[in-house]
Structure 1
């Protein structure tokens, strides 16, 4: 579903960014901007800036930035189309009808029907928990020390001990057998007829990040197998792409997420005030889970069970989370098995201490590896350090690798130099590491820099910042630089938009330029251009020198690129003349 650029621009321009964000957080005017506490990370001092002139926001703490569309997408977890619809309705704009195929209509209608069924099932289970039949379920939750408020908050319920109880209820609402079968709540076959997926179980509604019920988990009361049962895969529910509790956890404003193993751990932690806890849904942790978490946080802390199975699960999850670009730490819960048990016995303050003391994930992996070797035996100790040295090669950046070498050397009493030599020796014998990087490009990937030198990227960003803050500079710069001279893809797109805006209207609207980008990282990069501090060079001569050097650096790099990629003699002579002209360039202000 797509809307024209004109429609999108009308929606954006009719929603003032200060008015919109002011409905979500408290803003205070300071100078020409408004400031408040960032809703995307936890902070005590306001660093979240909203500009009416620029029609954009930017956080100087975490780098989050964008326009009205970006804010709604990030805060409400809407798709772009959903954000357009929301903001259009807010501004009283009637969006044009967008043609959809019959197949798209059928899928949309079916999806809505399934959402309605899941919602009614959740309400029914919640009602049954309060009824006479739910006495054992209520006793179970009381035994687990859940308050009435927590039960209501998570919408916990009970499925009656009858095999077709929910089926009969949903049939009375007018749903046919096929849609009920597709919901995953009912099984229908010729031999046994229709029967419920869940019965005689305490029920845990599973919600997506928009608080819509998409499936259920159920724990059997008394004897029975399996102990825990989840909804099957449906049009709504994919357990490898959803996390229990994320609908609440994403708004916790904590700097990290805590990953647990089960429903009760998440619920117990939320009840104790740790509202950033989530859990996978009866499946091993997947890369999709990691990517989903990366949308809301940069760091996770694992609070898996302290038994052998929990340790193995943590070891499996760590490389997956790393490949998604997340930092990982490990929360230790010994002598108790899980967060629920720990909090019940030692309380929330003790658990907070464990969170604060969470161990670096690599050092945790090394400590687990240590269990396989006898460090009291010279041979065992040698084999252990050889194994650790090979693991240290996972860190491709030399500074990071040396920091870990230093930490391990200090912990295990080995010379930093000896361990570093061992690591380097293994590094020389592992040519396949390059192949591994090509097969798994997510691992160790640099952010946005590609093949471009840091000094060049800084120059491109600085020059664009100068331009958007003082359009009068454009006449000085334009004879020497074209937007194509900005070689980084993001900066080139911004450069083109800035040049065209100045040449046509003489005004730049940052919020409009941000619309050119869909990726979150690119939007943050662009927001940084419009919110960088360019103060500090008061002397006119110094400003002229800085501006001239910045233009030369950008132009020179692009000319070098052109030289490498052209074989036309006339073109090469033109490039040589331009290089020569740069030697005498001085931009006067």
Structure 2
């Protein structure tokens, strides 16, 4: 992996206008000097996602996601920084320097890149074994499941050998050491057995990210071993909650919806039958991370889970998660068959398409399953069912949508619309029966929603003002210095910003590039996007500015007093001078204009 100079990083960043790049993913509308749209990282109905061409930064006032053009690709596309750098360099027509990696450099290079290399090598090895004499049983298994050679090739299907250290020995020959192999999740190392494979004697399913890079594997045992299906553990490149099987293919579909399955074979069977919009979660329960990922590519998700009890439970768990991020969910009925693979083998693709066309509204599916818990011939059971339905109808926040669903429910279950509406209204006004909906975990800046420390907010506000108003720096540079920002990251940002101000070129997006961690980049973006409350007059604005400066300076003095060494005479003299400055500032008039 290549390492790039700050100058080259800045050239690539500056040649990719952030509005142009983000417009490829999010519909933006210009308001004043800033563009706004619906945030791609959380569900919202009013656009709080802002993109500033002046700052070359984006920031969401709802969830706190923010950064520059590199951060956006890293967050949206799940790129590493080198991958974002390569994508943006190619977009701008910039040729990046190629560097050959020595054995020593390989050890020192980005671990994520090496793990991707190991997975790619393992995938090729498993692929080769399937087509050798060793993989005959697995090949026959795939053929028995009616997979064509073309399908096997498309999905990179393979075989892990019966020898439990086969892949380990192969990867060692390629030069990878035990430490990195252990981190890959493909190999276990212990003192008794040495290196041995995670997968052996299994039909192998490579798992790829949306950019066709192998990040993990699923394996089905050949014979009677347990567990029947085994998946790679989570690693630096394999996050089960941020990836879906076959999304690398499905993201390019022209179909209006995504088909969400339970297993790898269901997905492969659907793709082979022409349904290139099928995906599955990776041996784990469906999460809000999966739902957010799907939202990037579609507005509708059709659940095509097994028609047994476990499949119904999985569908009932997935529906609210999909709704929470703003996706429409429907449920495909595959009876009398268990899963899509069985259905297509028995009736074919055309009949399956009919089932897609007739998919059931997710709310009506939930009600139908709920009905099965009650004896509808017994008045008490019927009343209890209707009460539970009324409670569920309260989840619809708009009156129009709620009325439409009440009509559908009343019609299907032969209920009086007026009686149902009265029951819904009655429950809605009773305390304790209507639960407040708890937001599902988005994984993005949840601490953002906690009550913010007032002093941190004052420091953020001052940094935002320094960016927004060009002439403010000259007025306060002798009063407020970077050392007055008491939070570590605030102080680092202030130092960089003051350096840029001295040079006469302010470049907030470049400051973000100087921070390595994605979380730090989001935090820096937040520092430049503190909410500036609208005021009626310039006098009120100047008053707010002065109060903020006084708070920041007073806090700085208190902080340094508490941390001052008794022998630090220079520090003590500075504190005395700063206290005098603070007293004088109270009499000063500081204006932004």
Bin of the TM-score, shorter chain as denominator length: 0.5 to 0.7
- How many angstroms does 1:232 deviate by? 1.0
- How many angstroms does 1:75 deviate by? 11
1:178-577 residue pairs with structure 2 within 5 A? 178-430=179-431, 433=434, 436-437=436-437, 562=535
1:28-68: CA deviations, max 9, x gaps?
A: xxxxxxxxxxxxxxxxxxxxxxxxxxxxxxxxxxxxxxxx9
1:190-247: CA deviations, max 9, x gaps?
A: 1222211111100000111110001100000111100000011111112222111111
1:65-84 residue pairs with structure 2 within 5 A? 82-83=83-84
SS in 1 for 2:236: coil
Equivalents in 2 of 1:191, 1:282: separation in Å? 30
Equivalents in 2 of 1:8, 1:206: separation in Å? 31
1:151-198: CA deviations, max 9, x gaps?
A: 000000011111111111111111111111111111111122221111
TM-score by length of 1: 0.62
- How many angstroms does 1:405 deviate by? 0.4
- How many angstroms does 1:261 deviate by? 0.3
- How many angstroms does 1:440 deviate by? 5.5
Rate the CA distance shift 1:78–1:174 in 2: closer, same or farther, 3 A: closer
SS in 1 for 2:219: strand
- How many angstroms does 1:430 deviate by? 3.9
- How many angstroms does 1:86 deviate by? 2.8
Equivalents in 1 of 2:422, 2:388: separation in Å? 14
Greater relative contact order (Cα < 8 A, sep 6+):
2
CA contact (8 A) 2:304 2:331 kept: yes
Equivalents in 1 of 2:397, 2:17: separation in Å? 45
SS in 2 for 1:329: strand
CA contact (8 A) 1:128 1:158 kept: yes
Aligned residue in 1 for 2:177 = 176
SS in 1 for 2:110: helix
Equivalents in 1 of 2:437, 2:93: separation in Å? 50
CA contact (8 A) 2:163 2:200 kept: yes
TM-score by length of 2: 0.61
CA contact (8 A) 2:106 2:114 kept: no
1:92-122: CA deviations, max 9, x gaps?
A: 436799xxxxxx9978521111111111110
SS in 2 for 1:341: helix
1:106-145 residue pairs with structure 2 within 5 A? 109-145=110-146
Equivalents in 1 of 2:378, 2:158: separation in Å? 56
1:12 and 2:54 correspond = no
The number of aligned residues is 401
Rate the CA distance shift 1:95–1:416 in 2: closer, same or farther, 3 A: same
Aligned residue in 1 for 2:34 = none
Rate the CA distance shift 1:112–1:293 in 2: closer, same or farther, 3 A: same
- How many angstroms does 1:253 deviate by? 2.6
- How many angstroms does 1:6 deviate by? 7.2
1:125-164: CA deviations, max 9, x gaps?
A: 0111010111111110110000000000000001111111
Rate the CA distance shift 1:13–1:373 in 2: closer, same or farther, 3 A: closer
Equivalents in 1 of 2:81, 2:189: separation in Å? 38
Equivalents in 1 of 2:72, 2:540: separation in Å? 47
Rate the CA distance shift 1:349–1:440 in 2: closer, same or farther, 3 A: closer
Equivalents in 2 of 1:286, 1:14: separation in Å? 30
Bigger mean CA deviation after superposition, 282-291 or 329-338: 282-291
SS in 1 for 2:318: helix
1:412-455: CA deviations, max 9, x gaps?
A: 11111110110011111145757x3476698xxxxxxxxxxxxx
Equivalents in 2 of 1:75, 1:185: separation in Å? 27
CA contact (8 A) 1:331 1:358 kept: yes
SS in 2 for 1:251: coil
Rate the CA distance shift 1:327–1:80 in 2: closer, same or farther, 3 A: farther
CA contact (8 A) 1:11 1:84 kept: no
SS in 2 for 1:12: coil
- How many angstroms does 1:87 deviate by? 4.0
Equivalents in 2 of 1:132, 1:277: separation in Å? 32
Structure 1: segments with no counterpart, 5+ residues: 22-67, 98-103, 443-557, 572-589
CA contact (8 A) 1:77 1:210 kept: no
- How many angstroms does 1:357 deviate by? 0.7
Rate the CA distance shift 1:106–1:165 in 2: closer, same or farther, 3 A: closer
Equivalents in 2 of 1:5, 1:158: separation in Å? 41
1:239-265: CA deviations, max 9, x gaps?
A: 222111111111113221110000000
SS in 2 for 1:224: coil
Aligned residue in 2 for 1:485 = none
Equivalents in 1 of 2:271, 2:17: separation in Å? 39
SS in 2 for 1:273: coil
Aligned residue in 2 for 1:550 = none
Bigger mean CA deviation after superposition, 76-85 or 253-262: 76-85
